[in-house]
Amino acid sequence: MTSMAQVAVFGGVVLLGAMSPGPDFAVVVRRSAISGRGSGMAAAAGIAVGVFAWVVAAATGVAALLAASAMAFTVVKVVGAAYLVYLGVRSLRAAWRGGGELRLDVPDPGGRGAWAAFAEGLLTNVLNPKAALFFVALVPQFLDAGVSVPALSAVALAGTIAWFLVVANVVSMLRKVFARPMVRRAVDGVTGVALIGLGVKLATSTRP
């Protein structure tokens, strides 16, 4: 199999991983539904940068050290789970408070919302030790086949951000629906429960 074919296969596997339901998906959907396209795309960019970092970490052996160390794995797992629960509780609080009619024409002051969304996407991804295990198992197979680290990193970044940008744009197209207070509360409530559930699942998970 040629290097280009190997890169295509790697990109397909990473894309399938990105498309599977999980914390990344929940964060992008909520950001896009509640805060709009810009925040959703910023969260997508943060997740993609996290995936890029995991590929580099797996290629250089850093992720393997994390996966091999029970203490390091547990620390990242607990921190990551706590962060997901924090996001979930914040979503549930927003659902409980409700709120007035959402103004779709008001820009976020200073662009702070985009930076917060980017950081949220990045932290959600890099604080997930399961991502380390995924890339530790995946990346060496393609390195052994002669594919370069920059090629793997670039295709992982491109594939991940492409998928989540699609999600962000599709969800944001329905933002007039999400602007209704009852719908917004439902989105906050559902994503809050989902994030807390994912956090609890991560906290109680063991290394495969």
What residue ranges do the domains of the chain occupy?
26-98+112-203
Q: Is 153 helix (H, G, I), strand (E, B) or coil?
A: helix
| 101 pLDDT higher than 50 | no
**Gyration radius of the chain's alpha carbons:** 18
Q: Which amino acid is at 199?
A: G
What is the pLDDT averaged over residues 120-128?
A: 91
Percent of the chain at pLDDT > 70 equals 87
Average pLDDT, the chain: 82
3-state helix, strand, coil in the chain (%, to 5): 85, 0, 15
Comparing 111 with 188, the larger pLDDT belongs to: 188
Ranking 87-96, 107-116, 135-144, 166-175 by mean pLDDT, the lowest is: 107-116
Q: Could you tell me the pLDDT band of residue 46, with boundaries at 50, 70 and 90?
A: very high
- pLDDT, one tens digit per residue, over 171-199 is 888 877 776 778 778 878 888 888 898 88
Instruction: State the number of CA atoms in the 13 A half-sphere of 100 facing the CB.
Output: 2
Given a cut of 90, whether residue 73 has pLDDT beyond it is no
pLDDT value at 204 more than 70: yes
CA nearest to 98, candidates 184, 194, 196, 195 = 184
pLDDT (tens digit per residue) in 145-164: 777 888 899 999 999 999 99
User: Letter for the amino acid at 138?
Assistant: L
In this structure, the number of other CB atoms found within 10 A of the CB of residue 203 comes to 15
Query: Whole-model pTM?
Result: 0.79
